[in-house]
Structure 1
Amino acid sequence: MSFMPPWFWLLLALLFFSALAGWVLQRGLKKQALSADANDVQRQANRRIQQQHLTDLDQALAEGRLSPAQHAMARDDMLRHVLSDATAAQGNGMRPQVNAASAGPVRVVWIVLCLAALSGWSYAQLGAAQTWWPLPLSQRVQITATTPEQLAEQTRAWQQATQSRPADAQAWLTLARLHAAQNQHALAEQALARVLVLAPEHDLWVERAQMKALSAGGVFAGEPWQWIQQVLTAQPLHLNALVLAGSAAWSEKRHDAARAYWQQALGLVPADSDAAQGLQQALAQATEMPKLAEAQASQVVPVLTPTPSGGDTRPLIQGEVRVTPEVQSQIGAGASLFVYAVAEEGSRRPVAIWRSTPTAWPVRFGLSDSMGMGAPPVLSSLAQVRLVARISKTGSAQKQPDDWQVELEGVKTGVQGVVLNITGR
């Protein structure tokens, strides 16, 4: 696809057709002028012949070869022919056109201006940039479902659509985003792989990298990092790739690298936009994090253990996860417990993830900004969130049918003593 704006090609087309119309009109005017000149030459030749004939008649009368009556009759007959030829010439439009050639350029200029004005007005009334330069696929697909029931219903419908239309990239992308909205990141990544075969856009590669990392519990090592770097190599100022690269570096505790990526991204968005505010918050957090890491270096209990870090003064959500005796009897050794917070509006990407392998119940947990994936929003920027606690036998970050899970909405950031009671699947 060309990177020239649509109006540029429209302007070229208008100029081309206007010039073509002017050229055709100019040719017609020139032919008309040549025809008029040829008619003038013919009339002048006829006039000379008629004058010579009158001279011959007068000479014949003087020499006595014609009588006065014969002379008068021959002269009247010739005059009738002259009048007849003049009348016929006037009827055929063979009148002198002295100013045809000089008026041609003026007419051409007016016609060109009228064509350009008419075409521009038509485009302003009927045209749109999208009709000349369609939006990329990554920007055309939007998910409208909000409730779990709507998401499940639309997921089934689009699964059928992809089966009946396996080459429909838009159907695959819609299905991928429906999976992502339900935190089914592995399925979303698989659907995005199909999309990229049909429409290899940079934004979609970044989206796939994010889904791959989320399905691996927030780990970007391997293919996610490789895909991000490929996009940045081809387009160093790709906004989404820079933001996600910062998140990936943050998840690996490389705060200086995260700050560098986010600083580049900040220069690509309007200063008063929501994206700029989110990036500024992330940059401020990346600046403070080395100091906090030093303060926590002496802590005996590390982050991501059942007991939250007590040295973090930022807003935390603290509580415990309980299970019923029936559930506890079915949990095998080595099962993983995930507790994560999700914004109640907007993206369903977890803003903080806590993980443990409990050996006894209940289990205490703590969530903080340091447990997020780095990209806005961060936990401390949200007034309240939805908490999810899930027990996985396999340890997969992706929800499985035999997992146990509970959700709690309206949890205020900064609260302590939250209880998540898992009673079933």
Structure 2
Amino acid sequence: MTTFWLAILLLIVIALFIVWRIFTAENNAIGAENGNIRQETNVTLYHEHLSQLEHDLAEGSIEQDSFLQLKAELDKTLLQDANASEANVLEPQQKSWLWPVAIGFSIVSLSLYSYMILGAYPQLNSPAAMNESEAHSELSPEQMLAYRLQQLQREVANDPSNSQALFSLGQAYISVGEFDNAVEAFDGVIAQVGEHAELLGPKAQAMYYKNNQVINEDIQLVIDKALALDSLDAATNILLGMDSFSNRNFEKAVQYWETVLNSERPGISKQALMGAVEEAKNQLRISNDGVTSSLTAENVDLTLPRLTVDVSLAPNVQEALMDSEDKTVFIYAIAAEGPRMPLAAVKIKASDLPLSIVLDDSQAMTPQMRLSSVDKVHIYAVVSMQGNVGIKPGDFKVEVLDIDVMEKEPINMQISVLVP
């Protein structure tokens, strides 16, 4: 803080120095120079006039008495001009200090006023408020959630009729795992504004989590009421999708979640929901003992590539992953010659291995880049330690190269190599 005020003081001193320098230079140099020029001009004119008088006297144009009279007047005029020049030089010197003092005072006053009113001085003068703001910025997400919960509790306590704050409080209770309080908050909102799907859906979610993620009769009753009021209610369909996914009914989960995505309702985290849909589709592909096809055998087009890959973990990788959280495994095929964009890809968990999967055109990322668009591929299976696509140092991998896309025999891949 001291450094800040010293910097301001230095800037003000520099500004005042510039102002005083300008006025000092004007008074001592410019004024004196103008006075000297005027005085020199008067002297020159005096000599010219005197020379003309002497010439007229020599030619007899004027008499000696007239010459003396005219010369006396000329001398008097020169003396008056000299006195006037000196007065003009001295007068600015006597009055010039008023301008720099006025300008300097204006600079200091305007600078301080502007900073006090328009600048950050109120914040600097309120260290408690600044400390509180800085403290909030350093809180962890869990601490911020707890702080937000306390804020909402105070708002509701101050105004129990604030239904919006009460609804937000219910959602905050779900986030911190206080499901009984969440249900009570949602019931309070319903008592104020009536039963609406957007209130019943979150209430059903709180009841679902409280009941260890099992839908019982009471929860189903709330779900039925919400869907009767709005069949596209986001919270209710997301809940049903989560329950379907946990019960390994991946196709149903995709249907519920895509219903929410296609509804274009505001306030939905589309990116997270799309990730959940993609995960459900991946799990759907590897269901039924890892066979990634929902088609019956008679409906399979035998002219299209279907690469069966048996993926497992080597003992050294199993040991390395034993004490860590479940890692993501990517199995994908890229063209043996050409772009490295995956032609088919599957994402699973390391705990799912060993597993047999099928790579086919249904897993293509674009219609133009598919297994059927090339003749040979490289296949990779990667345990991602960071959970990101690509092969990075610290990951475990296995690769098989130059595989014919029409290969019918299973391809054995045991993940064993540590990426340096």
Q: TM over 0.5: same fold? A: no
Richer in helix (by share):
2
Higher relative CO (Cα under 8 Å, sequence separation at least 6) belongs to 1
Larger Rg: 2
Question: What TM-score do the two structures reach when normalised by structure 1?
Answer: 0.33
TM-score by length of 2: 0.33
